[in-house]
Chains A and B, each alone.
Chain A
Amino acid sequence: MFKRSSLCFLGLVQIVIFLAAAVKPAHAYVDPGSGLLVFQVGGSMLAGALFVLRAKIRKLFGRGGTEKSEAEIQNCGCNTGTEPRA
């Protein structure tokens, strides 16, 4: 029960951090688009948040450290980053 509450809390914090704080100006050579850019940013936020969340879950249950290997990154079962999904 405690683990589940901690998990939810961590997840929420992580998502809030990503959605609220990690935005900065973009510099592009080509037109980065309007809707397509928002779409990519949104998808990337969610994918990043879910990725970190997954790493934290693993840590919480003692299944691996914070080190993210390439294989782990490839196999993480989170959002594809191409479409925001809650």
Chain B
Amino acid sequence: MAGALATIETFRDPAGSLRVEGDRVRRRVKPEYARAALDFLESDLAREWVLQGKLIPTKTAGVVDRSDELLLEHPRVFFPTYPWEWTPGAWFAAAELTLDMCERLAGQGLTLKDATPLNVLFDGARPVFVDVLSVEKRDAQSPLWMAYAQFVRTFLLPLAAYRYLGWPLAASLHRRDGYEPGDLYPYLSAMQRWRQPLRSLVTLPYLLEKRQSRRNGAAAGHGLTQAPEVATAVLRRNLRGLRQMLKKLKGDERESRWSDYPESAAHYGEEDHRQKQLFVRRALVEISPKHVLDLGANTGIYSRLAASLGASVVAWDTDLAATERNWQQAFEERRQVQALIADAARPTPAAGWRNAESLGLLDRAYQRFDCVMMLGLVHHLLLADQIPLEEVAGLLRDLTTRWVIVEWVPASDPRFTELVRGREEIYGHLNEAGFVTAIEHYFLVAQKERLKNGRTLYLLELR
């Protein structure tokens, strides 16, 4: 893990680049694109979106040296995330925001020149469009959206693959530019191929592509001109068509063995639940953290508790269905909870060109939180992931700047024995005394409470 916030810089956009260095986010705009960028940023539409939280705020920081490049500055989104960590709900929210913006821009003679989930970050569960240089002037006579195919490749086809084929959205880590229709086509049944939305997303484009490559090898050079009012109407219809397909891709909520865990946890009596919530609430009220990381958040009971007390929460869990529930609730209730599918034991790696385009999970999380909650997770790390106690303590030290709320699960706990599965010889020695010894290397025990079911809650403070 890096010792400080790592630096990343973008390089693909011909109009400029973005550099994230610590808490500073600066964007250079090339001279020939500067006027257009300023025109948009100073427009009523951009101001409206910034006020609504849909567009990242931008401030002009001046002109760079003598090169006439424009320098812009954005506030850093507290915890930047990537599509491969998002729940399906977050994907839909990002896609809807992209289409909403494109539709509004069309009416102003503008468009989005690209359409990828990587242009969107999240503030809590609210999507924020961050690539201000994506907005450009539209050819009034063209009904085409040149980012249409990218929108399909990077939003709709991963969602279709997830919905119809069960391919994980996390696979987008390996697919910067999404899927081609031909990637999905062989795996679809004949019935699926000719039903909407797959007919328009996969089958027809795939067959047209095959026909095209037989004829001349590429489809380059296609374009279309129409009278401006016709072009605008047709563009809007194309965008509505994309929206309809997006709507069709929304499936039913999936269940998992963890998604109703808080309601069905038999090892937790009502009194235990009450006692645990009381301890966590009391601790949070006492320490009043600003930024909380909830490790193993499940459906987010404690994430929402922390958010209701004024904290901004990032919640990690490996279970998709549970995390989706957490995300949906935060989205509907507008809570400051960012629920991610993330594994503390196997964190998302850095990715992209030279591993420097997107940061790893722990690089982004390093000492970003003044409180880390780890409730009902220690035994999973110890037994399922085989992480030594000292390492667990070390991770907590890396993530928090001050507080930790942690729950120790004893070897007698039914969940502990379930996970041991005949490996008592290796793990039978794990006990609370060993846990406290490992923890006290970095932390002081500020508060401690034993629940009736034998589990113990700790409030720890960094030494």
Interface of A toward B, CB cutoff 8 Å: 18, 22-45, 47-48, 51-52, 68, 73-74, 76, 78-84
Contacts and interface: CB of A to CB of B under 8 A. Distances in A.
Most B CB within 10 A of own CB, among A30, A41, A79: A30
Contacts of A34: 208-209, 212-213, 218-219
- Which of A29, A36, A79 has the most chain B CB atoms inside 10 A of its CB? A36
B241 interface: yes
Nearest to B230: A48
A22 B219 contact: no
Residue with the greatest number of chain B CB neighbours at <10 A, chosen from A22, A73, A78, A82: A82
B224 A23 contact: yes
Given A33-B152, A39-B205, A45-B224, A81 B241 contact: yes
Q: Is the interface of A mostly helix, strand, loop or mixed?
A: loop
B184 to A, nearest CB: 12
B146 interface: yes
Given A38-B205, A68-B229, A83-B199, A32 B149 contact: yes
Which of A34, A41, A52, A73 neighbours the largest number of chain B CB atoms within 10 Å of its CB?
A: A34
B14 interface: yes
Interface in B174-226: 177, 180-181, 199-200, 204-210, 212-213, 218-226
B423 to A, nearest CB: 50
B225 A22 contact: yes
B34 interface: no
Given A25-B223, A37-B148, 12 more contacts: A18-B226, A29-B136, A33-B148, A35-B219, A38-B205, A38-B209, A40-B144, A40-B148, A42-B208, A44-B144, A47-B237, A83-B204
B244 interface: yes
Given A38-B212, A38-B222, A41-B144, A31 B205 contact: no
Given A30-B146, A35-B181, A82-B242, A48 B226 contact: yes
Contacts of A42: 208
A3 B226 CA distance: 26
Interface SS of chain B? helix
B259 interface: no
B408 interface: no
Nearest to B150: A30
Contacts of A23: 222-225
Interface string B57-99: 0000000000000000000000000000000000000000000
Contacts of A30: 113-116, 146-147, 149-150
A17 to B, nearest CB: 10
Contacts of A68: 229-230, 233
Contacts of A80: 237, 240-241, 244
A60 to B, nearest CB: 18
Contact of A47 (B114, B115, B218, B234): B234
Contacts of B231: 48
Contacts of A24: 223-225
Contacts of A84: 204
B232 interface: yes
Contacts of B155: none
B419 interface: no
Contacts of A43: 238, 241
A26 B206 contact: no
Given A44-B144, A80-B240, A51 B233 contact: yes
B364 interface: no
A84 B207 CA distance: 13
A38 B113 contact: no
A38 B147 CA distance: 13
Contacts of A35: 181, 204-210, 212, 219
B224 A22 contact: yes
Contact of B148 (A36, A76, A78, A79): A36
Given A36-B152, A83-B200, A22 B226 contact: yes
A29 B207 CA distance: 25
B27 interface: no
B147 A76 contact: no
